[in-house]
A = this chain, B = another copy of it.
């Protein structure tokens, strides 16, 4: 095992989020006409992206992408990190790379010079704070094994992968290659399942991965139920229990559950005045948890950090921290 010089490297679909507040009626019409499902992500092509953008309200743009959000939060806690993901050489790509760099995250993936524009995720935020996402992958679809820097992966204590990477065909190869390099170097692999429909699309792959390759798994209630095709959460929890070293299951206002070595650790949710926008909740939970983990904290403290970060991010529009997460560290001392 080589001594890690980085705490974490994340690989994901690089995206700029366009968040717009919308009404329940608008979302219902989109559900009917285009099969959107509240709280989940669907893939769309460029034409549909243009069409939906022209119909949705005025928006706020910010760097997003599930693993990108996690890496930004992880760095905000003080973790040393890098990110692998593909944008285009355009204004939104510049925004994405700038935001990573300024958060202190190394981000050296070669941008796509010709072809698709930077990927974007059109996020409809309903009055209840739920987000429903339509993703045009754009340049992210070109991420492949050539973008994986083996030395970078081998240098990191944790390689963090988002399930969404299973959608673009070559990214799946990048994903598998990275996992192998990380394990060969004696380091850990963390995976987030990303979305129940993403799990649906790639269930056999994910089951195999979780069984044999993943050390730390993140999933929310719907995702873990989808993975094992279970009706209820407890059944799904039992199934995942002995499959990976640590399984972290998040349940929104019901808090989260950490399953590790036969132990079940329940972490309550944090009180919050008003949920403004749930975009990034799972991503920032993972950021807090993994920062705690790389800092050698016990699992309960890791879960608390995840909860505090998720609570911050749902209190405002946008998927990334609007505070220094290192200021949250004092809150778990008590």
Whether A60 pairs with B57 at a CB distance below 8 angstroms is no
A70 CB-CB contact with B under 8 Å: no
Contact residues in B for A99 (Cβ distance below 8 Å): 58-59
Shortest distance in angstroms between A102's beta carbon and chain B's nearest beta carbon? 5
| Contact call A58/B316, Cβ cutoff below 8 A | no
| Closest chain B residue, CB of each to CB of A96 | B58
By the criterion CB–CB under 8 Å, are B90 and A58 in contact?
no
Task: Please give, as numbers and ranges, the residues of chain B lying within 8 Å of A61 by CB-CB distance.
Answer: 60-62, 95
Partner of A54, one of B91, B98, B323: B98
Find the B residue at minimum CB distance from A21. B322
Please, which residues of chain B bring their CB within 8 A of the CB of A226?
Answer: none
Q: Is the CB of B62 within 8 A of A102?
A: no
**Closest beta carbon of chain B to A52's beta carbon, Å:** 11
A38-91 interface (Cβ within 8 A of B): 53-54, 56-63, 72, 90-91
One of B58, B103, B117 near A320 (C-beta < 8 A): B58
With A91-B117, A92-B91, A117-B91 in contact, do A102 and B316 touch (Cβ < 8 Å)?
no
Q: Mark A90-127, 1 if CB is under 8 A from B, else 0.
A: 11100100111011000000000000010000000000
Which listed residue (B53, B54, B95, B322) contacts A317, Cβ 8 A?
Answer: B322
Given contacts A91-B92, A98-B53, A322-B21, contact A60 B60 (CB under 8 A): yes
Chain B residues, CB < 8 A from A282: none
A324→B102 CA distance, assembly (Å): 33
Which residue of A72, A91, A95 has the most chain B CB atoms within 10 A of its CB atom?
A91
* Interface set of A (CB-CB < 8 Å, partner B): 20-21, 53-54, 56-63, 72, 90-92, 95, 98-100, 102-103, 117, 316-318, 320, 322-323
Can you list 8 A-B contacts with CB-CB less than 8 angstroms, sorted by A residue number?
Answer: A20-B102, A54-B98, A58-B72, A58-B103, A60-B318, A61-B61, A61-B95, A317-B318
